[in-house]
Every structure is written in structure tokens, then in C-alpha cells.
Amino acid sequence: MTEVGRPRKRKEDARLLTGRTQWTDNLRQPGMLHVAFLRSPMAHARITRVDVSGARGLPGVVAAFGGQDLAGEQGSLPCAWPVTEDVIIPDHPPMAVSEVRYVGEAVACVVATDRYLAADALEAIEVDYEPLPAVIDLAEALAEGSPKVHEEGNKAYSMKITTGDIDAAFQDAPVVIDRTYVQQRLIGAAMEPRAVVATTDGDSFTLWSSTQIPHVLRVMLALTTGIPEHKLRVIAPDVGGGFGTKLQVTAEEVLCLLLTRRLGKPIKWNESRSEGNLTVHQGRGQIQHIRLAAEADGRIRGLQVDLLADMGAYLVLLTPGIPLLGATMFNAIYKMDAYEFGCTGVFTTKMPTDAYRGAGRPEATFGIERIMDELAAELNVDPLEVRRRNWIKHEEFPYTTISGLTYDSGNYEAATEKALSLFGYDKLRAEQSDRRDRGDPVQLGIGVSTFTEMCGLAPSKLLGAARFAAGGWEHGSVRMLPTGKVEVITGTSPHGQGHVTAWSQIVADALGVPFEDVAVVHGDTAISHKGLDTYGSRSLVVGGVAVLQACEKVREKARRLAAHALECSPEDLDFAEGAFTVRGTDSRRTIQELAFAAFTAHDLPDGVEPSLDSDATFDPDNYSFPHGTHLCAAEVDTETGLVKIRSYVAVDDIGKVVNPMIVEGQVHGGIAQGIAQALFEEAVYDAEGNLLTSTLADYLVPSAADLPDFTTDRTETPATSNPLGAKGVGEAGTIASTPAVVNAIVDALRPYGVQDITMPCTPERIWRAVEGARP
């Protein structure tokens, strides 16, 4: 039995579950100092005075600085995605110097001998602010005469892409649906808050951070701080969740490095939960104006999307590019003649937005899957039937979509059929109709989401064409140790995904070694010397493939060693179960024996270097395109507005599966996070720019008690763009589930004339919608 495909329990878990972890906050360095940041209570203000002298004399305080003290050396936080030629990328000092632009922006800091004393001393710092008007609403921000977030204006960029004749598509169209949807801002709320430790030996620097991107971070920190790249080592030790929020170069990382450079001592920072709610970049934040033109039978003629995307106060690492990850995804699995995508990035006096699980793709999927339901309602056709009439048929793959992507494979029919049978669709429709007839105060709704996404970020040349500053390749290194064990170094940076286990399964199959004999090392730029880290469901599809390709190189080298030892030609050797056998004989060498021979190097064939190891770097030709059909049945109590998800079926096609148990976990967590957007979570700012959801009592992250059982299954249509045939699963559940849930709620309330509920669909919003519709 192959290892790939087995539901292996994760190698990581015994250690994680028994607390033998190394979170950044567990690190202790001799002489380590602690920094605490004073944060702006104002959304927008001129800083007229910062006086840290009161803090300097307090017990335990070693140093205190305002932004002005660091202005000469702190640089500007980087944005790596200048999406258009004229995008405005404002200067972004890690510590505000003359103006603050969101609540929570750091304005001063205290370095002390312990964390508590540092926090106490913050209260002795005096800052004078001259208030400036907050800029909150996206449309108002663009209106003439709006107060400005930056002198250059509130429009960061604007772009439009049109394919096909969009005017013709809409002209005389039998059906035009016009809707505006709001993607609320979300807070990632990773289990482990951010933490940083920076040290120096006077010449070189080491930075530990709870980050998803040690490699990218090293490059960006070198560019930002001027510390030469070869003098900077970045380590991501155990990292407890990220969801995109740790795909960032943060002010705190830069400031810890600067403080350690200035003070010559190790510096630690660990954020509190409420500090994180304020200052971890947020996700989503879009107003989507969508128009869809269709024939009378529901076939789509054209789709027009116009986004206002909330950038927040600055452009951080990927801010302007996130909505554009949806640019090629609004057309989703559907065929159409014309498509137009427009997006305007808007500055506001709020925390910057950036990647959050799905990043641009959930927003797009929500928009199209919601409006497909509206089209179905308009035509009085079953929502799945409308989709069927428009989706790309199995026999049409590979298929180049209206937005220019080539979907290599897919089978929407098979996933949908499987989902329907697991769900009991017809029976639920019958119950729905019965409840409607009876006027039951608890109505039943059925929500459909037939999604796809582009994963496996990414072909470097496509990223280049999109003006992204880096490539999308990944690196893997595989070395057989003298005793026959295997050490794998990966450029991916897992923070909960289980790469150690999955990579071990791939290597065990490729080299014929026991699963237990494989170790996987990651997350340290001094050891894993190149890589592009973990985000966008890329790790297996790009990084896992790199490891597989490194294994193949190792195997080919081993074949030469075996041929030499067995005195035959390499072509005469069969490789199976970790050994090369001379075909038709029982002469064999195990790969472990060959590893030892390569180590001693006493008798190597000409031109073969000692040591049995190899590196590979994989750059895919295309994205991968997971897809699936999710169905949700929701009961809506029209008297209270409460939603109860009664059943949820997810059939995902993520191609070849390495570890079904890890996949199951990813799908469950993903669905939970998508449901969270639909029902529970929103970062709420008031008109003055104060974050009203700075604690988890106000920002409602659901727990298992708030979620239904999930029925999950798969179809398997392998990707053709990589040799594993895998497509990626990190974001699928999140992308699919949000529209499935909202579609179910709106479906339940359709008889009341309800066409939309703004997310999160709180009981109060639902109650008001129902009340508003009552005669």
C-alpha cells in the first residue's frame, strides 16, 4: 500500500498536544528585554507632541522612544504588489511620526526588563493629538471634498479589464440582475497571537517571528532596515495558525530589529488578543456592484463587476493585489460571452486589509454564487439547474475562461451529483414547501455553492505579468543520511497544515523508505536556504512537488550507485520497495545501503559526487483549480431571526489526495471559517474610526458548539499541471461555504420578498428584514 492516500495521523500532533512546543513566546534569551507599544486611540490625527521622558525613569525601564526618535532609521513598511503603474503607495513608517491614520497605530514604545513593567510605563508617556476627520465609508471617501487619508488622495488605484463585447451582452438582454453585496471586514484571530524575538551578536541578527513567511520576511526586512540579507536569519518556530494574517511584514518585526540593533540586547514582543484585533491586518472589506445579463433560459450573456476595495490606511505587503486575485474568479465555473472587472482601491482610516483565507477568491465566489441564485429566483428555475445550464462541461476541459485562465481539469457534474445524493435535496425541498404552505414560523432554506478557485500560487511568469514583486516557485531538498534515514528541507512554512506528515508520505513512496524514517525541517532561513513559504493553498501543489522532484533526482543518483555496485547498466535495474534489483536476478541494493556507500565514498562511479541528496525547485506552468459543490440547509426562525444550520454537505474535488485525514481537517476548518463570515464575524468601526470589536466578546468567533455536523466527501479529478495531480485544499471550505449559507438564508426568506441579508446575517438583521417585508 502506498503512503500517499493513507489517513496518517500527524507526526506533529503528539508534541503539539502535549505542550512540548516552541512558540516564539516560549523563547528566552539571556538579557532579554521586553517591548510594549503605545497605540493611537485616534483614527486620524496629527501628532503634535510625544513625550516619553515620564516613562524613562520608571522601574525596569531601559529605553523609551517616540516615532521621531526612530524616524532616521525605520524606513517604510513594504508593499510588494504595485498593481498598476500609478498606484499610490504612501510612506508607511513602522512607528507613526507626524500623523496617525488608524486606531492602534504605534506611536511610542517602552523597552523594559519585563513585560509588565513595560506595559505599566506606557501610561507615563504623553502624546498630544490634533484630531483630523476620520474616513470610514468607501463611497464617501471617493466623493469630492472628502477629507483625505493621505495628501495624494483617497484613491489608491483604479483598474478595469474587459473581455468580449460587454455592451452588446447587456443590450436587449432578456434578464439583467443588478445587485450590490458587502464583504465585511474580518479579523483572522489565529490561535497564537503574533510574537517576535530579535537578537544580535553585534554583527548579525536573528529574528524569530510567528510568521507564515520566513523567507519573504528576510528579503523584505533586509530591504527595509538596511541589515544586509546575509547578516539576517529569520526563524518561524512553531506557529499557531495564520490564515493569511501572518503573511505580512509587520511594524513590530521591523521595530524589534531596530531596537535590538540600537540597544544591543535581545528584544521580545508578544501581542495581546485585543492588541491583535486592532493591529493584525484584516481581511475582505469590499463593496461589490455586480450586474449579470442572461438569456430567458438562464444562459449568461455577460457579467460586470465593479468593486470598491477597502485598503485601510496604508498599503501593506499585498493589500492592493488581494481584490485582484478575484479578478479572474467572478466568472467562476461558468461560460459567458463578455466579462468586465473593475476595481478601485480606497484609503480609509482603518487597519489595512490584506490576505485572509482565500484572499480575493472568496469575495468573488460569494458575488457570483449569490447572483446566480438571484438569477434562478428571477427565472423561477432551480438554482442548481441555472448553474448546470452555464457551467463548463466535463468534456470541455481544458477550458480557457472568459477571464483568460485555462482550467486544466474539473468535473462539476460528478461533484454535484454526489453532493445531491448525500444531501437528500428533493426531500428537503419538499419539507421547505410544506413549511411555506403551513406558514411555519421556522422556515427552511437550501443554499447552493458550486465554486472553483485558483490555487497553487503560482507560475512565476504569471505573477510577474500581474506586477507581483516575487515569483511563485518552491524549493525542496532531500538528503539520505549515512544511516539510511531521510532529512527533507522544505521552503514551505507550515503553521498548522501538517507538512511534516504529508511530505513524509510523499518521500516514503518516492524512495521506498518507512514513513517513520523521514524528518522534515522548515522555517529557518539558515537551514532552509530558499523558499517562498506558505499561503494561497500552494504548499503541496508547489512545495510538495518540489520535494517529490528532489526525491526523483535522489533515486536516479542511487540508481547509478546501484548499477556501479552490482556491475550492471542502470537500465537493467528495477526499483521497488526501497531497493534496486537487477532484473531477473535477486542481486539487489537497498537505498539505505547506497546512502551509506555514497557517504563513505570509497567506491563511487566516475563523475558521481559523494552523499546521496538532491535539491529541486518547482515552478508550475499553471494554477490549479479545485472545485466542489456545497449544499446547506438552514432553518430560519422568523420570530427571532436566529439561523440554525441543519445540515451541510461538502463535496470537494481537490485532485489527488496525499492524506485524507489532513484534508478532512482543512475542509472542516475552512467551512467553519466561511460560516463565521456568513453568520458571526465582523470587524466593526464606528463613525470616528474606533474598532468596536476589539475583544472576542464582541468579535464572535464560533466554536464547535455553534456549528453543525459536516458531511464531507470528494470526487477526484487530478490536476494535470503538476506531477502529484494535487490542487490544494487550504481555502476551499472557506470559499465555498459563505455563499452556501447566505443562499440558504435568503432562500428561506424568499417568500417574504427578501433578496439579501448583509453579512454577518445576525438575528437582528434577519428579523428586521422579515419585519420590513411583513404587510
Partner 1 sequence: MIPAQFGYTRPGSLAEACQELAADEEAKVLAGGQSLLPLLRMRLAYPTKLVDVGRLPELAGVHDRGDHVFIGAMATHDEVLRSGVVNADCPLVALATATVADPAVRHRGTFGGSLAHADPAGDVPAVVLALDGVLVARSADGERDIPAAEFFVDYLESSLRQGEILVGVKIPKLGAGWGFHYEKFQRTAQAWAIVGVAAAVRRSNGAIQESRIALTNMAPTPVRAHATETALAGMDLGGEVRQACAEAAADTSPPGDLHAQPDYRRHLARVLTHRAVRKAAGSV
Interface contacts to partner 1, rule CB under 8 A: 36, 115-116, 119-120, 123, 272-275, 639-640, 642, 680, 684, 692-693, 695, 697-698, 700-703, 705-706, 762-764, 767-768
Measured from the CB atom, is 649 or 744 closer to partner 1? 744
How many C-beta neighbours within 10 Å does residue 439 have?
Answer: 9
CB of 678 to partner 1, least distance (A): 13
Measured from the CB atom, is 17 or 521 closer to partner 1? 17
**Residue 771 CB burial class (10 angstroms; 0-12, 13-18, ≥19):** exposed
CB of 696 to partner 1, least distance (A): 9
* H or E element, residue 302: strand 300-312
Distances, alpha carbon 768 to alpha carbons 25, 183, 253, 591, in Å: 45, 20, 45, 69
> Is 547:658 a contact under the CB 8 Å cutoff?
no
Measured from the CB atom, is 422 or 700 closer to partner 1? 700
Nearest Cα to Cα of residue 405 among 560, 205, 572, 624: 624
How many C-beta neighbours within 10 Å does residue 471 have?
Answer: 16
* Burial call 106-130: b when 16+ CB within 10 Å, e when fewer: bbbbbbbbebebbbbbbebbebebe
> Is 312:356 a contact under the CB 8 Å cutoff?
no
Measured from the CB atom, is 569 or 703 closer to partner 1? 703
Measured from the CB atom, is 466 or 701 closer to partner 1? 701
CB of 715 to partner 1, least distance (A): 33
Can you tell me the distance from the alpha carbon of 375 to that of 659, in angstroms, rounded to the nearest whole number? Answer: 38
- The answer, yes or no, to whether the previous bond of 760 is cis (omega within 30 of 0) is yes
Measured from the CB atom, is 185 or 627 closer to partner 1? 185
Can you tell me the distance from the alpha carbon of 36 to that of 268, in angstroms, rounded to the nearest whole number? Answer: 9
**Degrees to nearest 5, angle at CA 257 with 252 and 260:** 120
CB of 772 to partner 1, least distance (A): 13
Measured from the CB atom, is 206 or 738 closer to partner 1? 738
* H or E element, residue 13: helix 13-17
CB of 278 to partner 1, least distance (A): 11
CB of 94 to partner 1, least distance (A): 22
Measured from the CB atom, is 631 or 742 closer to partner 1? 742
CB of 700 to partner 1, least distance (A): 5
CB of 741 to partner 1, least distance (A): 15
Q: What is the 3-state secondary structure of 364-379?
A: HHHHHHHHHHHHHHHH
CB of 684 to partner 1, least distance (A): 6
Measured from the CB atom, is 515 or 767 closer to partner 1? 767
CB of 680 to partner 1, least distance (A): 6
CB of 286 to partner 1, least distance (A): 21
Measured from the CB atom, is 271 or 653 closer to partner 1? 271
Nearest Cα to Cα of residue 352 among 47, 92, 694: 92
Pairing of strands 126-131, 99-100: unpaired
CB of 702 to partner 1, least distance (A): 5
Across-strand partners of 36? 110
Give the ranges where 322-473 is alpha helix by DSSP (H).
Answer: 361-379, 383-388, 412-423, 425-438, 460-465
Measured from the CB atom, is 23 or 680 closer to partner 1? 680
User: End-to-end CA distance of the chain, in Å?
Assistant: 65
Measured from the CB atom, is 519 or 700 closer to partner 1? 700
DSSP 120-188: HHHTT-EEEEEE------HHHHHSTTPPPSSTT-SEEEEEEEEES-HHHHHTT-SEEEEEEEEEEEE--
CB of 41 to partner 1, least distance (A): 13
Measured from the CB atom, is 480 or 672 closer to partner 1? 672
CB of 147 to partner 1, least distance (A): 26
Measured from the CB atom, is 539 or 762 closer to partner 1? 762
Can you tell me the distance from the alpha carbon of 299 to that of 305, in angstroms, rounded to the nearest whole number? Answer: 18
How long is the chain? 775
> Is 470:549 a contact under the CB 8 Å cutoff?
no
CB of 719 to partner 1, least distance (A): 37
In the chain, the amino acid numbered 35 is V
Pairing of strands 205-209, 232-235: parallel
Measured from the CB atom, is 381 or 642 closer to partner 1? 642
Nine cell digits for residue 748: 428561506
Can you tell me the distance from the alpha carbon of 290 to that of 401, in angstroms, rounded to the nearest whole number? Answer: 18
Nearest Cα to Cα of residue 519 among 576, 480, 556: 480
Measured from the CB atom, is 445 or 641 closer to partner 1? 641
Measured from the CB atom, is 25 or 275 closer to partner 1? 275
Nearest Cα to Cα of residue 321 among 277, 350, 359: 359
Nine cell digits for residue 321: 493585489
CB of 39 to partner 1, least distance (A): 12
Which residue is it, cell 514513513?
515
Q: Quick one: residue 713, left, alpha or beta (phi over 0 = left, psi -120 to 50 = alpha)?
A: beta
| DSSP 3-state percent helix, strand, coil across the chain (nearest 5) | 30, 25, 40
Measured from the CB atom, is 289 or 646 closer to partner 1? 646
CB of 66 to partner 1, least distance (A): 21
> Is 671:459 a contact under the CB 8 Å cutoff?
no
> Is 623:465 a contact under the CB 8 Å cutoff?
no
Can you tell me the distance from the alpha carbon of 197 to that of 24, in angstroms, rounded to the nearest whole number? Answer: 7
CB of 60 to partner 1, least distance (A): 12
Distances, alpha carbon 585 to alpha carbons 556, 566, 574, 578, 588, in Å: 20, 11, 10, 16, 8
How many C-beta neighbours within 10 Å does residue 150 have?
Answer: 18
